[in-house]
Chain A
Amino acid sequence: MPFSAEISRANPTCFLFLIDQSESMGAHIGGGDVPMTKAEAVADAVNRLLSELSIKCAKEDGVRDYFHVGVIGYGAAVGPILDGALAGRDLVPLSEVAARPARMEERTRQNGRHSAGRTVKFPTWFSPVAYGDTPMCAALTRARGLLGPWLADHPGCFPPVVVNITDGVSTDGDALPVAQGLQALTSADGHVLLFNLHLSSGLSDPVIFPGPDTALPDDYARQLHRMSSPLPDQMMAAAARQDLVLDAGARGFAFNADISAIVQFLDVGTQVLELR
């Protein structure tokens, strides 16, 4: 059965984030308490996810390398965007990610409506950027170039999960065949999973994890839907735990996502590890 490989330090899997850094990512996004640009909301959500993964995999002897993680930006350039000690690195074992945040911010977390809140550490590994075009084909090609050798080194792994986060149409060609090439990569446990998270600055309602027959608003949405892999069972179960009612064959795709939909999408789309 595909998508059933045990994830362990001997057999890790991989999360690769492709982040659109085009100019339009500087526009505001809805759905949050604080006004934010799309680029800021994505950086916030992905940095938080890296932090939560590190905490989830932390044990007394350190952070366990159940995952290798990469963050590729595409805008004025295409390449890894981790800052600080990890600058220039593409796929990094989680223990190194945890050990080397680029910055450690202090944020206030509200403990309730009336309490003063308390300061918590918020590590960040990369910063928001909004400059340039949307070379999505180059980013998907880069992902394929990274994951091919990674899969050769980890042939029995739970398939890598690639999350492409964008607000616009590819400016360097038709992304569908490139996406299909990426999804054709495989481990013994199944094909690479490609999920697409489309952001909106408008007020349209988000469509999250649509089924195969869900009506979508335009050709662009339909193309991103075709580029998106169906959710494996454990992610369907994670969605159900969040009270999302999904059609059978729901795909890892969101259209017109606002801030809360980004968080929900990343949470469901990275539920691969059955720790207990």
Chain B
Amino acid sequence: MRCVVSSFWLPRDGSPVEQYEDAYFPRRTGARTTPRLRLAVADGASESMLSGLWAQTLVRTWCRSSRRRDMADVVASAMSGWDTTLVAYRKGREAESRPIEWFEQPGLERGAHATLLGIELTRPPGSEGRWSAVSLGDSCLFQVRDDELVTAFPLTDAAAFGNAPKLVPSSARHLNRVVAHLERAEGAWQPGDMLFLTTDALAAWFLTEAAAGRTPWRAMNGIACDDSAAFAEWAAGERAGRRLRNDDLTLVRVEPTR
């Protein structure tokens, strides 16, 4: 299987890059030949501490896990490592003479939260290409074939984006609830298809445009791999026109070619 992977990201307008709390993986872009490929995007919740770090932990753990490892195992593994991350964070703060403040403690105790979308592409020898996706929350996968949207997952309607998406918490206490709410989808891919993984603001824009009979994938596909300036320019225009909500933006584009 050969794929070209491109990724684009931006913090919300007015925020420095350090405050970007989405995450995506793999970080390496460009063409690759591989029997299987895992990709993921996640959106750290604004109203929790260390949610950007948690989002990164989730996408890395999914993408670096073996094929046999299901999302339930991946989330369990990420949760089990979180206490170690927290201990290191607290030590780091003490080393900087910035001990945890009273207003941070409740948030650290509540834990971090993020949406998560992970997909896996495969092409068994002699068979057609397959994709499978697992999601919790409103990060979305779109599949486009022959200039038509053929899959939108897990959300299919821009009106479904609210302010309370389902989230993966860092606390292992909630593992069973997370596993029960995971949504799954699978399908076939063909050379020439385009797959887009996006966090919510871009996904809502995409579905709004598609519902209006337009072709948002052309804009998403028109930006050259690694041309972050073109993506920023495009986003600035859409934000200024109030068509795109001012939020962190993440797009991972996958083009399987054979």
- A residues in contact (CB < 8 Å) with B: 6, 8-10, 51, 54-56, 58-61, 63, 98-99, 101, 104, 121, 123, 274-276
Contact = CB atoms under 8 A, between A and B. Distances in A.
Interface of B: 12, 14-15, 18-19, 45-47, 49-50, 101-107, 163-165, 246
Contacts of B163: 274-276
A60 to B, nearest CB: 6
A98 B101 contact: yes
A151 B162 CA distance: 29
B103 A10 contact: no
Given A8-B15, A60-B104, A98-B103, 19 more contacts: A6-B246, A8-B12, A8-B246, A9-B14, A54-B103, A56-B47, A59-B19, A61-B18, A63-B103, A98-B101, A121-B102, A121-B105, A123-B102, A275-B46, A276-B46, A276-B47, A276-B163, A276-B164, A276-B165
Given A9-B14, A274-B163, A276-B165, A51 B46 contact: no
A202 B199 CA distance: 52
Contact of B107 (A9, A55, A121, A274): A55
A148 B49 CA distance: 35
Contacts of A8: 12, 14-15, 246
30 contacts: A8-B12, A8-B14, A8-B15, A9-B14, A10-B14, A54-B103, A55-B103, A55-B106, A55-B107, A56-B47, A58-B49, A58-B103, A58-B107, A59-B19, A60-B50, A60-B104, A61-B18, A61-B19, A98-B103, A99-B101, A101-B102, A104-B102, A121-B105, A275-B45, A275-B46, A275-B163, A276-B45, A276-B46, A276-B164, A276-B165
Contacts of B164: 276
Nearest to B102: A121
A29 to B, nearest CB: 27
The 3 lowest CB-CB distance pairs between A and B, nearest first, are A275-B47, A54-B103, A275-B46
Contacts of B15: 8
Contacts of A59: 19, 49
| Best-surrounded residue of A6, A9, A61, A123 (most CB of chain B within 10 A) | A6
A58 B14 contact: no
B159 to A, nearest CB: 15
